[in-house]
C-alpha cells in the first residue's frame, strides 16, 4: 500500500517553550508532500525530519496567528537559496495574500520559482486542491480570526485483480486495466467470466482531517465523519474549559468527544498550552472518552 503518513514538525501553541515548536505538519501521501501550517522554526524541523525542501508541493495555512504562519516567509527564502525551481502553492485566508506579496517583494528578490497564492474561504466547506489521487477540502472552524481545517482524502482505488484467475484464464496483461475498471472476460470458448470472479474489492480509501485552532463545535463530527485519522487541537485540560471557551480553543476531552461522535479511526492531540510540562494528563482525559488517542510530539510519524 502506498504510504499515507503524518510527520509532526511542531505541536506547541502560541507561547514558545523549550519543549515544543509551533504548529506544523507534513502530510505524505502517495509520494507527494504537503505542509499544513508553518509556525516559527518549521524549516529547522524539516531538516531534522530529513524532508527535502524541493519535494514540498504546497502549504496550507489554517489561519493568521503567528504560531501557524510566522515560519512561512523564512522557509520560502531558504527554498530560494537551495535552488528550488518548481512552483510552491500556498493556500490560506484571503488576507494572507497581500502580506505574503509584501514580504516576498521585500525579502525574496530573485526567486527562481513561482509562489502561487490561492485564497481560501474559511467559512465554506469546499475542495481547494485536487489531482488524480486525492482531494483537499476545507473544514470551517470557530476561532478568534477566520480559520479552517483541511481534510485530505484519497480517491477510491481500483479493485485488485486475482493473479490465479489471470493465469487460469490466460488473460493478457493488456486487459488487466480494463478488468480493474469493471470489464468481464470472454475466454477462448466464448464463455463470459464475470468481473466479480476476477477481482477482489479495492483497498478502502484513507483520509486525514486536520482541525486547527477551534473552540468545541458540537456539529463538527458531521463534517469529518468516518475519517481514518483526526488531528484536533487540545490546548487545555478539562479544568480550563472556561479558558478554552474564552479564547476559542478546546480541551483534550472535547477533542475526544468529536473523535468519538465522528467514529474516526484514531485521534492525534496537539497545540498544547505552555502551562503543561507534561501532557500525560491531556492524553488520559482524551482516552477516557476515546481510547485510541495519541499525543503528538516533534519528530513523530503517524500512519493514517
Closest among 49, 22, 48, 47 to 36, alpha carbons compared: 22
Distance CA 210, CA 233 (A): 9
b/e string for 27-43 if b means 16 or more Cβ within 10 A? bbbeeebbbbbbbbbbb
C-alpha distances in Å from residue 26, one per residue of 9, 17, 225, 273: 7, 21, 22, 21
Closest among 277, 275, 293, 273 to 285, alpha carbons compared: 293
Our answer to whether residue 303 is catalytic in this structure is: no
C-alpha distances in Å from residue 196, one per residue of 131, 192, 266: 29, 11, 32
Quick one: cell of 297? 510530539
Name residues whose C-beta falls within 8 Å of residue 122's C-beta, 6 or more positions apart in sequence: 63, 93, 138, 140, 141, 146, 147, 148
Name residues whose C-beta falls within 8 Å of residue 118's C-beta, 6 or more positions apart in sequence: 89, 90, 91, 92, 128
- Do the beta carbons of residue 165 and residue 197 sit within 8 Å? yes
Number of C-beta neighbours around residue 122 at 10 A: 20
Catalytic residue among 67, 114, 189, 239: 67
Q: What is the dihedral of CA 176, 152, 218, 258, to 10 degrees?
A: 80
- Alpha helices, DSSP H, located in the chain: 42-48, 66-69, 72-81, 95-107, 163-169, 176-180, 195-198, 220-223, 241-246, 252-262, 280-289
Q: Which residues are part of the catalytic machinery?
A: 67
Amino acid at each position: 500500500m502506498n504510504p499515507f503518513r503524518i510527520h509532526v514538525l511542531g505541536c506547541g501553541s502560541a507561547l514558545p517553550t523549550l519543549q515544543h515548536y509551533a504548529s506544523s505538519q507534513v502530510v505524505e501521501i502517495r509520494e507527494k508532500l504537503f505542509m499544513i501550517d508553518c509556525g516559527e522554526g518549521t524549516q529547522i524541523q524539516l531538516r531534522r525530519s530529513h524532508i527535502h525542501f524541493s519535494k514540498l508541493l504546497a502549504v496550507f495555512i489554517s489561519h493568521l496567528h503567528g504560531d501557524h504562519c510566522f515560519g512561512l516567509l523564512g522557509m520560502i527564502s531558504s527554498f530560494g537559496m537551495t535552488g528550488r525551481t518548481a512552483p510552491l502553492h500556498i493556500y490560506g485566508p484571503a488576507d494572507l495574500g497581500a502580506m505574503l506579496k509584501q514580504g516576498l517583494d521585500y525579502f525574496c528578490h530573485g526567486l527562481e520559482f513561482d509562489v502561487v497564492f490561492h485564497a481560501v474561504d474559511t467559512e465554506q466547506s469546499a475542495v481547494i486542491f485536487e489531482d488524480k489521487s486525492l482531494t483537499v477540502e476545507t473544514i470551517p472552524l470557530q476561532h478568534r480570526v477566520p480559520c479552517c481545517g483541511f481534510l485530505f482524502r484519497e480517491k477510491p482505488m481500483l479493485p485488485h485483480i486475482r493473479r490465479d484467475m489471470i493465469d487460469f484464464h490466460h488473460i493478457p496483461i493488456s486487459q488487466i486495466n480494463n478488468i480493474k475498471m469493471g470489464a468481464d472476460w470472454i475466454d477462448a470458448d466464448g464463455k463470459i467470466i464475470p468481473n466479480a470472479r476476477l477481482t477482489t474489492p479495492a483497498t478502502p480509501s484513507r483520509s486525514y482531517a486536520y482541525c486547527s485552532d477551534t473552540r468545541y463545535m458540537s456539529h463538527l463530527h458531521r463534517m469529518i465523519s468516518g475519517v481514518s485519522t483526526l488531528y484536533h487541537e487540545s490546548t487545555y485540560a478539562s479544568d480550563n474549559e472556561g479558558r478554552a471557551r474564552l479564547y476559542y480553543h478546546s480541551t483534550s476531552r472535547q477533542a475526544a468527544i468529536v473523535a468519538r461522535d465522528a467514529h474516526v479511526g484514531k485521534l492525534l492531540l496537539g497545540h498544547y498550552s505552555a502551562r503543561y510540562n507534561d501532557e500525560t494528563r491531556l492524553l488520559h482525559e482524551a482516552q477516557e472518552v476515546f481510547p485510541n488517542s495519541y499525543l503528538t510530539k516533534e519528530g513523530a510519524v503517524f500512519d493514517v
